[in-house]
Structure 1
Amino acid sequence: MDLTVLYRGPLASCDYDCPYCPFAKRRDTPAQLRADRAALDRFTGWAADASQDRLSLLFTPWGEGLVRSWYRRALTDLSHLPHVARVAIQTNLSCRTEWTADADPAKLALWCTYHPGQTPYDRFLGKCRELAARGIRFSVGVVGLPGHLPHARRLRAALPPHVYLWVNAAEGHVYTDAEAARWTELDPLFPYSRAPHRSAGLPCRTGESVVSVDGGGTVRRCHFVRAELGNLYDGSYRRALGPRACPLAVCDCHIGYVHLESLPLYDVFAGGVLERIPARLPPVSAGVRA
C-alpha cells in the first residue's frame, strides 16, 4: 500500500528563538539527544524493513533536525531505498548543505522556512541557491507577519523562478482583505492558509493512507488528534487503518488540512505534497519577481 508517515521524535532543541513559534522549545540535554537519536534510528530501521509498502516520509521535528548528524544521515540513507518515494523534512536551513550531495536528489526534499531576524538574509539565500545548484527539491516560506512582508518580497525576487515561496498565516492573526491581498500577491495559494478550515465530520486521508508517529512508535491519524491507532513497531496500527471523518472542529495547519478530501490540495500539490511544492507553480504578480 501507499503509506505517508509524519515522524516527530522527542527532539525539541532549536538554534533559533522565534517569538512567534508555536512550538515549545527547550535545550536538550545529552541524554535527551541520545534518546532522540535512538528513536530516529529505530524508525529508520523500520522504514528500511517496510518494503511491503511504498513509503513517503516527512520529518516534522519540534526543534531543528538538520543541525544533528543523525537526521542528515537518516534522510540520506532513506532516500536510497527503492520503496521510499519521497523523504522530506521541515527545516530552518541553518545547517550546511554539502550533505545533500550524498542523497538521491530524486527522493530528497526540503521544506525550508526563512525567519527574518534569526539568520542573515544573504546566508539563507545563499543556501537556497546551493540547493538549487545541487538539484535538490525544496520550497521556501515565511510566516505572514506584517514585519516579514518586505523580507518576503525581497526573497521572492531573488529566488530561482522554479522555487515556490509559500506564506503561512500567523497563528492568531486575523487578516483584513487588504493584508491578505498583499500576501496573495506573493503566494497565490495563501487563501488556503488565511483561515482555519472547517473539518468536523469531513473525510480526511489521515488514519487511512497518512499517519503520524512519535518517538516511541505510537501511531495516530495526525499530529492534532490524540487518539491512538496502535504501535508502529508491533504492527498493531495496521488493523486500525481505514477511512474516517475528522473529529476536530477545524484544521488550521498545512500538514493537516492538506490531507482533507474536501480540499483540492492533493491535485494542487500533486507529486509534492510532503515538501509543499505545487504541481504547477502559481503565477505571482508581475512586479514581485522583478
Structure 2
Amino acid sequence: MSLKVIYRGHLTDCNYSCEYCPFAKEKNSRELQALDKKDLDRFVDWVEQNSSADQPMEVFITPYGEALVRKWYQEAVIRLSHLPHVSKVAAQTNLAWNTQWLSRCNTQTTALWTTYHPDFVTEEKFVSKCNELAALQIRHSVGVVGLKQHFPQITSLRQRLPQDVYMWINAYKREVDYYSEEEIAFLEDIDYLFRLNLPWYESMGKDCKAGSEVVSIEGNGDLFRCHFIKTRKGNIFTDSLASMLKKETCSKATCHCHIGYIHLDAMKSHEVYGSGLLERIPVRFS
C-alpha cells in the first residue's frame, strides 16, 4: 500500500482571484518564491530518498494558489513522475499554462485535478486545454464550483467534454440550504457524486486514514495528519517517517472539504475511486 503525501508549499498567489476562494489573495515576493522553490526541491529529494518498494508513495500537490504556472513545480512533477517507487503524482490546477512540458512526464503516473473558472477563462480555451491533456495522454478530471450563476456554463462544459472524462462539481457551502432539491438533482445528473459533497460530515472520533495512510506536508517539512488538523507530528527532514505515522480518530467536529472527508474510513472512498483517489477520478471513469 502506498503512502499518500499531500504537499502544500509556501506559494499563496494565483493568476485568478475567484471571490469564493479563501486563498490566493496576495502577491508573493521574489524572496518567498525563491524559498518555495528551494523547499520544493528539498521535498522532492526527500521523496526520492524515502520512497521504496516497501513504502511506495503517491504525491498530491495542492497549493493555496496556482502552482503549475511556476517552472519549479513543473520540474518537480516531471521528476516525481519518473521516480521508480512514486506510483502517482497529481496536482490541482486551473490549466492556465502551456501544456507542452507534460510531454516530459511519465504518463503512467501523472494526473491532474483541473478546475474550470468561467469568470476568468473562456469555455473554448479551457476545453482546448483539456483536449491537449488528452492528446498528451495525461489522466485528468474536470470540475467547477456549483454556483447558480454558472449553471449554464456547467451544462455547456459537460456537453463539450468527452463522456469518458469525469466532471465533478463542488457544492457551494457558504450559504445554508443554498440549493433546492431540483437544483441538487440537476447537478447530480452531471456529477453522480455531487450529493456526497453537500454535507458537513460529523467526524469527531471517527476512524480516518489521515495520519497513517495519508499525511500532509508543508514547505518547511512539518508533517501533519491532514490539512485541517494542525497538530504537528514531526518534520520529515529531522524525524523518521515511520515515527510520525499513526492511526488515529478524527479530532475535528466536522469535515466538509473533499480532500479531507474522502479519507474517513466510513466513506469507503477506495471503492469509489480506486487508484484515482488523488486526481478525483472514480473507478467507473478509469
TM range (shorter): over 0.9
Aligned to 2:276, the other structure's residue is in SS state coil
Post-superposition CA distance 1:77-97 (Å, at most 9, x none)? 110111000000000110111
| Contact 1:180 1:194 (C-alpha < 8 Å) held by counterparts | no
> Match of 2:143?
141
Match of 1:166 among 168, 190, 208: 168
Post-superposition CA distance 1:34-83 (Å, at most 9, x none)? 01111111101111111332000000000100100000010011101110
Answer yes or no: is 1:249 the counterpart of 2:261: no
Q: Aligned residue pairs: how many? A: 282
Superposition map of 1:85-234 within 5 A: 85-173=87-175, 174=177, 175-234=179-238
Answer yes or no: is 1:74 the counterpart of 2:100: no
AA of the residue aligned to 2:66: E
**Which consecutive residues of structure 1, in runs of 5 or more, have no partner in the other structure?**
283-290
Aligned to 1:7, the other structure's residue is in SS state strand
AA of the residue aligned to 1:27: K
> Match of 1:259?
263
> Match of 1:45?
45
| Contact 1:114 1:140 (C-alpha < 8 Å) held by counterparts | yes
- d(CA) in 2 for partners of 1:72 and 1:245? 35
- d(CA) in 2 for partners of 1:2 and 1:167? 27
| Post-superposition offset of 1:24 | 4.5
Aligned to 2:267, the other structure's residue is in SS state coil
AA of the residue aligned to 1:214: E
| Contact 1:91 1:112 (C-alpha < 8 Å) held by counterparts | yes
| Post-superposition offset of 1:207 | 0.3
- d(CA) in 1 for partners of 2:285 and 2:59? 23
Post-superposition CA distance 1:173-218 (Å, at most 9, x none)? 3222122111101101001101211111110000011100001100
| Contact 2:115 2:143 (C-alpha < 8 Å) held by counterparts | yes
Post-superposition CA distance 1:4-39 (Å, at most 9, x none)? 100000101100010111225210111111011111
Aligned to 2:5, the other structure's residue is in SS state strand
Give TM-score, length-normalised by structure 2.
Answer: 0.96
Aligned to 1:227, the other structure's residue is in SS state coil
Aligned to 1:152, the other structure's residue is in SS state helix
Give TM-score, length-normalised by structure 1.
Answer: 0.95
AA of the residue aligned to 1:12: T
Aligned to 1:207, the other structure's residue is in SS state coil
> Match of 1:273?
277
| Contact 2:223 2:233 (C-alpha < 8 Å) held by counterparts | yes
Post-superposition CA distance 1:195-252 (Å, at most 9, x none)? 2111111100000111000011000000000111111112345313121100111110
**Which consecutive residues of structure 2, in runs of 5 or more, have no partner in the other structure?**
none
| Post-superposition offset of 1:160 | 1.4
